[in-house]
Amino acid sequence: MKKAYATLEQIQKIAETYDTPFYLYDEKGIRENARKVQKAFSWNNGFKEYFAVKACPNPSILKVLKEEGCGTDCSSLTELQMSDACGFSGHDIMFSSNETPLSEYVFADKLGGIINLDDFTNIEELEETLGSFPETMSLRYNPGGYFQIANTIMDSPQDAKYGMTTDQIIEGFKILKSKGVKHFGMHSFLASNTVTNDYYPTLAKQLFELAVRIKNETGVELNFINLSGGVGIPYKPDQEGNDIEVIGAGVHKVFDEVLVPNGLGDISIFTEMGRFMTGPYGALITKVIHFKHTYKEYAGVDACAVNLMRPAMYGSYHHITVLGKENAPADKVYDVVGSLCENNDKFAIDRELPELEKGDYLFIHDAGAHGFAMGYNYNGKLWSAELLLREDGSVKLIRRAQTPQDYFATLDIDDTMKKYL
């Protein structure tokens, strides 16, 4: 059973200062998890976790992870700027983008970040843009076909827009070497939110074997291999989560089997997890404000899909704890819904919960990655505040709630909306 990391009493106290809905992140949980990741890959001297900023783009979260030894994986100008502002620099930044505006390559190069090219044509494009290549370059790989573990198909890379074919990446390394690049990396992402300890080891073996082929055919000895993200979390309470120590040991095993005998035992292993790093350590806190009794029982809350769109967009499951009623029988069935003019604005459908009352606080679990970050303003709804629950039990505001003034601020409105600004 999933357990909330905040009590009803804590939330009631916080709500005296900050209106619901709001996000609450668990600093202690984030730090402990980051340390587990570092320990799991400590066998590799060059290991580094590059946190996927897209998952939770907040400077306070990035600073916590920086203190734990992480770098950042960025996919846009603003993510690069946020990383720079938080003190990340040089090779602590990985820039993995696609369909990239050329100005963003220039900025990434200015920061000294590692540029990870998505497409073969980007090679010529980057040289024309920068005038020459940085000393360190990375290329993104897509093997095509289907990616499977044992007899289970996990995803179909052939349908993904990311990465280069095998022939393209080999030719790409030949070109980079001829142009004077001195340090090389390879990156690949083949499946999303995997809840199996076999994903990274299976992916690693495929990439390690390709690294040997690249060495033999081009003379390029890779300096790092980036396993990217894809390590998921158990959203449902009956799911067994990944064991990062088992995962790290699995990668170690294939590292020793494939790379070491081929003289590539100095390759650094990188990861760029997002969901696994912060997902379980962020929750959306919302309050029950309304009930509707028609063909179903509806519990209306003061959050909606603009605050957490995953259930509406993907039909994703997020567990809900009714704070203060953790031990009460879950003998009522509700659709938990928001106020958007969209019928899919539902955090839960036919969910068994304790009997709800107006004013109950709901703790919506596993929203710490791709939760707030995917927010939007449909129906003129405003983004919520983000709060950090510190290790000492105090709470820090790390993003204030959006106001109507913020919403109207970018409009070309002459005097139309002046009274609200």
User: Max Cα separation, the chain?
Assistant: 72
CA–chain centroid gap for 394, Å, is 25
Distance in angstroms (rounded) separating the CA atoms of residues 86 and 295: 51
Distance in angstroms (rounded) separating the CA atoms of residues 265 and 211: 11
Radius of gyration in angstroms for the set of CA atoms belonging to the chain, rounded to a whole number: 23
HSE on the CB side for 150, CA within 13 Å?
4
The answer to whether 372 touches 386, Cβ cutoff 8 Å, is yes
Say which amino acid occupies 174.
Answer: K
C-alpha distances in Å from residue 413, one per residue of 44, 104, 382, 404, 419: 57, 31, 19, 14, 11
Structure tokens of 342? Answer: 């969209």
Which among 235, 160, 231 has a CA at the least distance from the CA of 193?
Answer: 231
Distance in angstroms (rounded) separating the CA atoms of residues 333 and 337: 13
Burial class (CB in 10 A: 0-12, 13-18, 19+), 340: middle
- Contacts with 315 (C-beta within 8 Å, 6 or more apart), sequence order: none
Which among 260, 272, 255, 263 has a CA at the least distance from the CA of 220?
Answer: 263
Which among 406, 369, 407 has a CA at the least distance from the CA of 23?
Answer: 369
DSSP assignment of 165-176 = -HHHHHHHHHHH
What are the residue numbers of the active site? Answer: 341
SS (H, E, C) 312-355: HHHCCCCCEEECCCCCCCCCEEEEEECCCCCCCCEEEEEEEECC
CA–chain centroid gap for 233, Å, is 11
